[in-house]
Structure formats: structure tokens, C-alpha cells
Amino acid sequence: MALEVTNLVGGYSQIPVLKNISFNVKDGELVGLIGLNGAGKSTTINHIIGLLTPFSGTIKINGMTINDDVKSYKQQIAYIPESPIVYKELTLKEHLEMTMMAYNLNKEESWKRANRLLKMFRLENKLDWFPDNFSKGMRQKVMITCAFLTDANLFIIDEPFLGLDPLAVNDLLSLIAERKEKGASILMSTHVLDTAQRYCDRFVLVHDGVVRTEATLADLRKQFPSAGNSLNDIYLDLAKQDKSNEETRAGEK
């Protein structure tokens, strides 16, 4: 099991945003983390990458928690944040060097890999530029390049499609497929449901800090027979149900 989240309760301050989150990502699997704004997707991700400490519950990557060995826990993760984060003092080339240095990667091999990625994203002539001055899409490409430079087992990708040009979206999806074949797992949060529907093996639907359901598309169709065929329809139906449930509950009070 690449990633296993069990009974995770957590958040930023005293008040838990995540009330009870449990799901898993198997080896070579692409799991979509789906939910409305504020549902707890990014908070879940922040817990997995070790930025936040769980109030209770455990997160295991290949059977290891962060407290077992911080270094080897983190060595397994590559992260692509929702809004690109770059060092304003470093050039593109230096960003790549930073990644190679921090993950202790073999220089020669990594540069081969890097050159391929840079060419793919048409960044190869911008090595000496500051990514801080790039457009959002281009900075996102820098993030993708850095993440796919590593040998991570688990890719955590937070809403990767916004701001990327169609060509880059396509390239990213093929990069993901490539790594999947090699046995890496991917957890991807997104709002672009029709893309998610086509590429994800399974979905974790988060609502209001709890996992509403965790299933493949076929299972989801069975669970919500009246909703329609696409992930989009199913999701809208589910969100509507939750809303009316909340309203009746509020009415009862």
C-alpha cells in the first residue's frame, strides 16, 4: 500500500477541519481527491506531506509514518502545489540543481531527465531566467519538472490543470501514466472532473472534513443510479444531497 490514511483528524489550529479521513492509494494507482472549496482537500494534502501534524490518526507511506524516519518518509514524496512556489533568488537551472541536491539525485542522469522535461514544456532556453517572473502556467511547469525529476514513489499533485496550456495538460497526463507504469502512486486533487473521470483509477470524495465515499467510477454509478453517467453529474447530485441533508438537519434544530 503506497499511501494509507487512517482516521485522520487534523487542521491548522485547535478546531479540526478534517473530522475523520480514511482512504488509501495502492501501488501504481492514480486516485482523484474530489471535493468542494473548503472541503478539506488541501488540508489533507498538507498532512500527508508533513506540513501539519495530525491531532489523531495515522498516515503511512509504504508502511512508514513520518515519525519513524522523517528523511526517508519525505524522500518518497514529490509534491506539486496548487499555486506554484518558487525561490525568487534562484534561476530555473538553480531550481533544478536545488531539487537534485535536496533529493541527493545522480547529477548526470537527472540532467538527462531534466532536459527531456524542459524540452517537453518548452523551457529549455529559459534555464538562466528567474521563474519568479514567469507566468503562472510556466511556473507550474517548473513545479512539474522539479517533481518529476525525483524518483518518488508517491506524487501528491494539488489541482495541476489550472493555468496549464492544453499541450502541457496532455504532457503532464502522459508523465503521470509513465510513472504509474513504473509502480509509482499518485494522489491528485482537482476540480476538472471530466479529465479526472478519464484518467483516475479511483476517487475519494471529501465533503466537510469527512470522506463521503471512496470508489471507482463504476461503483459510483451503482451507488448513485439516478444521478447520471459522468463523474460531474454524480458529484453534483451528491453535493445537492448533502446540502438538502444539512438543511433538514438545520430545520430540525
Selected from 51, 64, 167, 177, the binder of another protein by CB under 8 A is 51
Nearest 5°: the CA angle 35, 181, 77 is 55
Phi, psi of 211 (to 5 degrees): -80, 115
Selected from 19, 74, 191, 212, the binder of another protein by CB under 8 A is 74
Selected from 36, 65, 103, 237, the binder of another protein by CB under 8 A is 103
Residue 96 in contact with another protein, rule: CB under 8 A: no
Pick the piece of the chain touching another protein (CB under 8 A) from 29-37, 78-86, 119-127, 167-175: 78-86
Selected from 28, 50, 137, 163, the binder of another protein by CB under 8 A is 50
Selected from 68, 109, 132, 247, the binder of another protein by CB under 8 A is 132
Please report the sign of the dihedral spanned by the C-alpha atoms of residue 169, residue 171, residue 176, residue 177: positive
DSSP string of 83-139, one letter each residue: S----TT--HHHHHHHHHHHTT--HHHHHHHHHHHHHHTT-TT-TTS-GGGS-HHHH
Q: Output DSSP code: residue 39.
A: S
Pick the piece of the chain touching another protein (CB under 8 A) from 2-10, 45-53, 165-173, 186-194: 45-53
Phi, psi of 245 (to 5 degrees): -60, -45
- Residues in contact with another protein, total (CB under 8 A)? 29
Closest Cα partner for 140 from 158, 128, 119?
A: 158
Nearest to another protein of 33, 200 (CB atom): 33
Q: Residue 55 is placed in which grid cell?
A: 491531532
Residue 71 in contact with another protein, rule: CB under 8 A: yes
Nearest 5°: the CA angle 244, 239, 20 is 100
Pick the piece of the chain touching another protein (CB under 8 A) from 18-26, 84-92, 187-195, 199-207: 84-92
Pick the piece of the chain touching another protein (CB under 8 A) from 19-27, 64-72, 165-173, 216-224: 64-72
Residue 81 in contact with another protein, rule: CB under 8 A: yes
- Residues contacting 148, CB < 8 A, separation 6+: 78, 113, 117, 175, 179
Nearest to another protein of 103, 199 (CB atom): 103
Q: Is 51 exposed, middle or buried (0-12, 13-18, 19+ CB in 10 A)?
A: exposed
Selected from 26, 64, 68, 85, the binder of another protein by CB under 8 A is 85
Residues that bind another protein (CB under 8 A): 49-51, 70-75, 77, 79, 81, 85, 87-91, 94, 97-98, 100-104, 107, 130, 132
